[in-house]
Amino acid sequence: MTYSQFDYIIIGAGSAGCVLANRLSEDGQHQVLLLETGGSDKSIFIQMPTALSIPMNTRKYAWQFTSDPEPYLDNRQMHCPRGKVLGGSSSINGMVYVRGHAGDFDEWQALGAEDWGYAHCLPYFRKAETWAFGGDAYRGDTGPLAVNNGNNMQNPLYRAFIDAGVQAGYPATADYNGMQQEGFGAMHMTVKNGRRWSTANAYLRPAMQRDNLTVVTHALVERILLDGQRAVGVRYSRKGQTQEVRCRAEVILSAGPIGSPHLLQLSGIGRPEVLQAAGIEVQHALPGVGENLQDHLEFYFQYRCQQPITLNGKLDWWNKLLIGTRWILKKDGLGATNHFESCGFIRSKAGVPWPDLQYHFLPAAMRYDGKEAFDGHGFQLHIGHNKPKSRGFVRVRSADPAEAPQIRFNYLQHEDDREGFRACVRLTREIIAQPAMDPYRGEEIQPGRGVQSDEEIDRFVRQAVESAYHPCGSCRMGEDELAVVDSQTRVHGLEGLRVVDSSIFPSIPNGNLNAPTIMLAEHAADLIRGREALPASDLPVRGDAQWQSRQRLQAAMRPAS
């Protein structure tokens, strides 16, 4: 069956797609179709923040992708879940809100993404959000996306970690999403009134009340339809039936950093040798499709806690029942937070201009699947080197849209990335050795005191790192021969086709990717509608003026033992 009444077809109801569905339908003048392979997000396990590990590891709500054996990680295959539900990955993620450093977006512009520097992006960050503590020049107060600090660091371990960072010679930051990212402070999350505030809740659900927006779930898009060099529609399957739908204006691909390059390749758009190897006829040669894949790695630095104040005492079935019941009745308590309520952003060495290491502090010692790491009480820091130079790829395997693509990140391929993780281990030990942690710090469980030399650290990292679930860059924005879209998000060499999601990031920001993905979609919506961009900002950014010669502001109070 073929329909032709739509102006815009958006593929993917994820972090970017939900924003676009709202913004492109808000004037009531255009018919918009949003296609999503997954289904409803109305599950307690999605909406209750503390249950975040469940949807991420559930096939109903997430594509459970796996990488090729990674050659620089002892050939481990890495888990790469991506949202398959209304809200996409914003419905399965950790709800951490980090914009990234201003330098990250100026880096985008330097790499060829014109008008995507920090001055151009900041107004769209502000437009998207409502910051719980009031708007200012850096933070918004009227946007759809609610941002707060969960339970406001009630557990004393959160404050102790921040104090330890300051004692180690780093600055405190009152708002790492404002003037100053570098330093230690409270962490922000996308939660509203105790519920996960995904883009489905923030953007899509209000827009679904409009007559000019049609949302179709359980629709697997098989290919983008081309008429010569113009995209004219899509083909998708639903409930065993194949359907084609046409558009008058544009097809907008928002299937994410794995799905977007894969669908372009299924449509015959990509590197010719990759398409031919998969038995797909080349419709438009574009060699950068699927290349430039990036991701963040992290590992857990775990310690025993000398006081019985951690979440490890809340992991039995009775306490989980109490937490869940309270959340159902009141939408507050431990069920209403992701538990990452303090954080840090630091530089790995002198000569690095802005932070490239990120901490998430958790007052518990557990794995991402929510299981205990050891008996007793403990705490952990998620730490990663966030500006990797290693690059991977996404490549179609066959013409079957149901077959997952080949994914290889080439994690730790570059020596600078390995050096960054050595800094993670050594700098973290120094921070936790500070006096603020004395009442709490017990035995180091992981990596363990036996891990000291470069070789020992490298071996530990290869075996222990996990994805932070921040893939991006596989349809890079720019103007060179390996760029996939231009600065207007239009696919090079084709008409009527754009890509709008984290796949078009030229480089990976220092932080979680949900906030910059939402910002990108807000900005792209104005580009698509032909509206004048929001006025660029001229606000200053605070950093260390002596970054070339020092790694932190001052010496630590106490060196690592």
Annotated ligand binding at 17? The verdict is yes
Annotated ligand binding at 7? The verdict is yes
Annotated ligand binding at 253? The verdict is no
Annotated ligand binding at 25? The verdict is yes
Q: Which two tokens stand for residue 425?
A: 């281990």
Q: Which two tokens stand for residue 187?
A: 């962490």
Check residue 130 and give left, alpha or beta (phi > 0: left; psi -120 to 50: alpha): beta
Annotated ligand binding at 410? The verdict is no
What's the Rg (C-alpha) of the chain? 23
Annotated ligand binding at 12? The verdict is yes
Annotated ligand binding at 187? The verdict is no
Annotated ligand binding at 431? The verdict is no
Q: Which two tokens stand for residue 516?
A: 């910059």
Q: How far apart are CA 10 and CA 29, in angstroms?
A: 16
Q: Which two tokens stand for residue 307?
A: 């006081």
Annotated ligand binding at 8? The verdict is yes
Annotated ligand binding at 328? The verdict is no
* Bond before 447 cis per omega within 30 degrees: yes
Report, as residue numbers or ranges, the catalytic residues.
470
* Coil, strand or helix at 35: strand
Annotated ligand binding at 530? The verdict is no
Give the strand pairing for 145-147 and 129-131. Answer: parallel
Annotated ligand binding at 18? The verdict is yes
Annotated ligand binding at 457? The verdict is no
Annotated ligand binding at 399? The verdict is no
Annotated ligand binding at 30? The verdict is yes
Annotated ligand binding at 94? The verdict is yes
Q: Which two tokens stand for residue 217?
A: 């779930």
Give the strand pairing for 497-499 and 191-192. Answer: unpaired
Q: How far apart are CA 250 and CA 284, in angstroms?
A: 17
Annotated ligand binding at 31? The verdict is yes
Annotated ligand binding at 28? The verdict is yes
Q: How far apart are CA 61 and CA 43, in angstroms?
A: 10
3-state helix, strand, coil split of the chain in percent (to 5) is 30, 25, 45
Where are the alpha helices (H) located in 278-367, listed in sequence order?
Answer: 317-330
Check residue 89 and give left, alpha or beta (phi > 0: left; psi -120 to 50: alpha): alpha
Phi, psi (degrees; rounded to nearest 5) at 320: -60, -40
Place of tokens 């596989």: 474
Select from 325, 560, 293, 333 the least CA-distant residue to 432.
Answer: 560
Annotated ligand binding at 32? The verdict is yes
Q: How far apart are CA 287 and CA 264, in angstroms?
A: 11
Measured from the Cβ of residue 468, the count of other Cβ atoms closer than 10 Å reads 21
Annotated ligand binding at 93? The verdict is yes
* Coil, strand or helix at 232: strand
* Coil, strand or helix at 346: strand
Annotated ligand binding at 372? The verdict is no
Annotated ligand binding at 29? The verdict is yes
Annotated ligand binding at 85? The verdict is yes
Q: Residue 336 carries which DSSP code? A: G
Annotation: binding site: 7-36, 85, 93-96, 221
Annotation: binding site for FAD: 7-36, 85, 93-96, 221
